[in-house]
Structure 1
Amino acid sequence: MDKPAEIFDRDFEWAELTRYARYSGPEATLGVVSGRRRQGKTFLLDALTRASGGFMFTATETTEGDALRQFGHALAAHCGESVPFRFEHWDEAIARLMRIATNGPAVAVIDEFPFLAKASPALPSIVQRALDPAARRGNTPVRLLLCGSALSFMGRLLAGDAPLRGRAGLELVVPTLEYRLAARFWDITDPRTAALTHAVVGGTPAYRREFTQGDTPSGPEDFDDWVVRAVLNPGRPLFREARYLLAEEPELHDTALYHSVLAAITAGNASRGGIADYMGRKSTDLAHPLHVLEDVGLIRHEPDAFRRNRSSYRIAEPLIAFYHAVMRPHWGDLERPGRGTAVWRRAQSTFRSKVLGPHFESLCREWARWHAGPETYGGHPWRVAAGTVNDPSARTSHEVDVAVFGEDEHETTGRETLLAIGEAKWNDTMGLAHLERLRHIRNLLASRPTGATASHRTRLLCFSGAGFTDELRGIADRDRTVQLVDLNRLYEGE
């Protein structure tokens, strides 16, 4: 099955889906497809069923009886029956589904499976029973795919002692497009425009096709106008999308609480204690909401690169950070048409400090982990994080935006080595002062008695969205331990 031309990238996902669909065994099999909303899961599965002549049922949030009625209509139409199937229970419906592959392996997709399981909690157990060896005598080689966007539910479907644990031959997560792919998807060739746009909408495919209908910023000079017309415009879908992302998650019952947590993180409070202080709550009260937000993919919990007992929470969805920093404080003004330009003018400094700066740092860490070539570090990286380094003599600490750990090509022990440390500045032209700061931090790390320590081979990475002084460029030309990464290298180089 060739991948349809209208599917952008997703080569790995398509290859795994078609491999699963083509499995020639005589038994019915199970696959699970998950991912956050708007990533194109349904688009992929619809293309798969059309290419293979399979069956696809998209559930809605309704009662068990109504869901069975809808399922019976859809399955009968697929089987060429003139009269809809009337199922009293899901046992009957799933048993009938398992008999549709009469001419060899056939794909059967149940999309939005969490909606069905919410109305019929026994449904995962019913599917498990239908896949048991005792039930296989009546089965045909159906390639059943259960799909859903409720990440916490889908994650539990195959975990622990869940009924379907150990039953799946495919467990596919459809991610957001990483930043380089997102630039290609939006047809943005200018790296500055690409980084600015990604800081607002991230890598969610639907935000270009359905939500903006192909409206993309034509360049840096058009970015401000694009934000006003496509994001801060109350007549466009992106305007309320950040609110809907929370409202659509079944695990997030108290949306006001979760919005407050996200606002606290966006404001720069990365620790649980800082978030609690911002909200005026006890730190222990936030364990559950933080865990749920992490489960549904809206925040990340990242350990500190240098301090084992410290970690940080960061926003995982750029649109959420943009909403809380720029839109939520001015929501009353933005709801009135024509106010977007004035609001955006007032919010520029907030956007740069609370959204663009942290987002640029995350892009730099992503580049350092997945795009930097081996010669950048003189070794193979396997972990990249941000961290804090204590400076006892100055009674202060230093933030390190990028710390790269891995295996040094000169080491023979195979132990973890600090390959590089880096600083990221979106709007600053970086010069000698930035390099001296990194050298000082490297010396502090070299004197540590424990952990992956620095050495003279630890590279110093300077990331800048505004460029570098001639003096710093001259040093980097002579000293390969100093690496300069501008926007062109971030998007196109190693």
Structure 2
Amino acid sequence: MERHVRPEKPSRVFDRGGEWAALTAFVNRPLPHAMLGIVSGRRRMGKTYLLRALVEQRGGFYFGATAGTEAESLRQFSAALAEYTGSPVAFSFATWDDAISYLFGQAAAGNPTGPPFLVVVDEFPYLVKVAPELPSLIQRVIDRFQVEESRVRLLLCGSAMSVMGGLLAGTAPLRGRAQLELVVRPFGYRAAADFWSVADMPALAARLHAVVGGTPAYRRQFLGDDVPASMADFDAWVCRTVLSPFSPFFREARYLLAEEADIRDTALYHSVLAAVAQGNTTRGGIAGYIGRKSVDISHPLNVLEDSHLLARETDIFRAGKSRYRITEPLINFYEAVMRPAWARLESGQAAEVWARSAERFAAQVAGPHFEAVCRDYVLGPGRSLLSTSLGQVGSGVVTDPKERRQIQIDVAVVEPGSGGSRPTVALLGEAKWGTVMGVNHLGRLERAREILTGRGMDTTSCGLACFSAAGFSDALRAEAERGGVLLVGLDELYGRTMPTTVLP
């Protein structure tokens, strides 16, 4: 069997080791048939940067579509293909059918034992908008070259998540034809800290990630490497970047929403996001906040989920219950801090607005974000602390019938029962952003474990964990030393130290 050397990831491509491995494995697969891959991800994630690096190493054909008419787009594609092939005369395809057939034919006519022919069509949704027949045309030629030989490796890339997700869904023409479906996501919180060069300052890294998340383009393309130098510089940095009307960051959250193809009434979608940012995280709560019936917000909720701007997270302890969470930190920051004071920010009052936003930032931005980061920790680097690497990681509410209260569990790991076995609770945790945690928080977790035991769940190996960005009381630390609880602070979350207690 023919073997090709897999090219190493260029040093200029930060992180993205898994994505690079998936792309090179797709391109190098030694099959004599055409193959299709779909690459998607919201804007500014570095998709184009990643794919251009791949094309440069493989010598493939790259075409970046732009917004335009069908005739103009076809003319641009023809010119790019003619330049790539070194044709002395410009190509003049009459239809997209002719262009796609020629492209695949070129691969079929090439060296049958040579490396595959890589083709990248970036911002594919622009083409689909003016030529909706394109997926069907590609499907037809892919089917043809599943029988005939053609070593083309076609990657379709785009930022409109609803469009890209629909390419392989339901009865779409390309369903069942793709051998790769890659979503390029934001950097995780640890990788983002490395990217922003703040990994040695966990308190700063946590606040920075709560505002800008893990979007690669924000540091260099938007801010020209303007990074807060220390915690003392963070407030000034927020005012001169995100809250400044002269910064490209200022309107970025609005643009993120407007760029999605399926979003028409942006005011309605901003209201939905504002409801979630204000703590109205259930469907009924969102509907009540914006003055609509629950049934009337199904479409905007679905569109925001498809756009990867909103996530619906099921209650891990209550079947049928779920809550919504904004997945893009910058949008959450905008809805919670910026939108309510927009007129003042436009008039240059960033320092005043930010000074009055401390409580709102802690409660509506940093707090919920910290809880999500703690779940990411348990799902990723902290999984070795558990007795099991399986189980669903999430959050939920445990109802205490005796005290007539609800105990919020911010971090939980539960293995569902199977084959007659009971569900197993491996971890119960509480996360606090601005509170020094004490034994009262531990007592709440112990009570939740007792209730779940009474409900028939297996809690014999259930560990308890306290996550805090503000620290722990001496009494709670003493409990941890006796093996009663796992304590995870910012140093542990960012890998600077390891928790001293390992759960059973």
| Fold shared, TM-score > 0.5 on shorter chain | yes
* Native 8 Å contact 2:257 2:266 kept in 1: yes
Counterpart selection for 1:350 from 352, 355, 360: 360
Give the distance between the partners of 1:133 and 1:66, measured in 2 at CA.
28
Deviation by residue 1:335-390 (Cα, 9 ceiling, x = unmatched): 123x211111011111011101111111111111222143x333334211111111
Aligned to 2:428: 421
Say whether residues 1:364 and 2:353 are aligned partners: no
Counterpart selection for 1:386 from 389, 395, 419: 395
The count of corresponding residues between Structure 1 and Structure 2 is 485
Counterpart selection for 2:62 from 56, 59, 76: 56
Cα offset, 1:317, TM superposition: 0.5
Q: How does 1:29-68 map to 2 (within 5 A)?
A: 29-68=35-74
Q: How does 1:2-401 map to 2 (within 5 A)?
A: 2-101=8-107, 102-103=110-111, 104=114, 105-133=116-144, 137=148, 140-188=150-198, 189-337=200-348, 339-374=349-384, 376-401=385-410
Letter in 2 for 1:454: T
Give the distance between the partners of 1:373 and 1:91, measured in 2 at CA.
50
Give the distance between the partners of 2:153 and 2:243, measured in 1 at CA.
44
* Native 8 Å contact 1:33 1:148 kept in 2: yes
Letter in 2 for 1:55: F
TM-score, normalisation: structure 2: 0.93
Counterpart selection for 2:478 from 471, 474, 481: 474
* Native 8 Å contact 1:99 1:142 kept in 2: no
Give the distance between the partners of 2:383 and 2:323, measured in 1 at CA.
28
Aligned to 2:465: 461
* Native 8 Å contact 1:100 1:106 kept in 2: no
Say whether residues 1:489 and 2:499 are aligned partners: no
Give the distance between the partners of 1:469 and 1:489, measured in 2 at CA.
17
Deviation by residue 1:10-37 (Cα, 9 ceiling, x = unmatched): 1111111112222332322211111111
Secondary structure at the counterpart of residue 99 of structure 1: helix
Give the distance between the partners of 1:386 and 1:256, measured in 2 at CA.
30
Give the distance between the partners of 1:75 and 1:343, measured in 2 at CA.
52
* Native 8 Å contact 1:381 1:407 kept in 2: no
Q: Which moved more, 1:222-231 or 1:291-300?
A: 222-231
TM-score, normalisation: structure 1: 0.95
Letter in 2 for 1:299: L
Letter in 1 for 2:389: H
Secondary structure at the counterpart of residue 108 of structure 1: strand
Q: Which moved more, 1:158-167 or 1:318-327?
A: 158-167
Letter in 1 for 2:191: L
Cα offset, 1:133, TM superposition: 2.8
Secondary structure at the counterpart of residue 297 of structure 1: coil
Summarize the Cα distance change of 1:312–1:10 in structure 2 as closer, same or farther, 3 Å threshold.
same
Give the distance between the partners of 1:164 and 1:412, measured in 2 at CA.
38
Letter in 1 for 2:480: A
Cα offset, 1:89, TM superposition: 0.7
* Native 8 Å contact 1:79 1:100 kept in 2: no
Give the distance between the partners of 1:389 and 1:453, measured in 2 at CA.
15
Letter in 2 for 1:65: A
* Native 8 Å contact 2:374 2:431 kept in 1: yes
Secondary structure at the counterpart of residue 144 of structure 1: strand
Cα offset, 1:153, TM superposition: 1.4
Give the distance between the partners of 1:415 and 1:471, measured in 2 at CA.
34
* Native 8 Å contact 1:301 1:311 kept in 2: yes
Give the distance between the partners of 1:134 and 1:324, measured in 2 at CA.
49
Give the distance between the partners of 1:256 and 1:48, measured in 2 at CA.
39
Letter in 2 for 1:181: A
Give the distance between the partners of 1:373 and 1:388, measured in 2 at CA.
22
Letter in 2 for 1:94: I
Letter in 1 for 2:320: N
Gaps of 5+ in 1: none
Cα offset, 1:94, TM superposition: 0.4
Secondary structure at the counterpart of residue 389 of structure 2: strand
Quote the sequence identity (%): 52
Aligned to 2:451: 444
Letter in 1 for 2:87: E
* Native 8 Å contact 2:375 2:393 kept in 1: yes
* Native 8 Å contact 2:33 2:146 kept in 1: no
Aligned to 1:434: 441
Aligned to 2:4: none
Gaps of 5+ in 2: 1-6, 500-504
Letter in 1 for 2:494: Y
Cα offset, 1:412, TM superposition: 12
Secondary structure at the counterpart of residue 31 of structure 1: strand
Letter in 1 for 2:431: A
Cα offset, 1:100, TM superposition: 3.2
Secondary structure at the counterpart of residue 81 of structure 1: coil
Secondary structure at the counterpart of residue 145 of structure 1: strand
* Native 8 Å contact 1:381 1:419 kept in 2: no
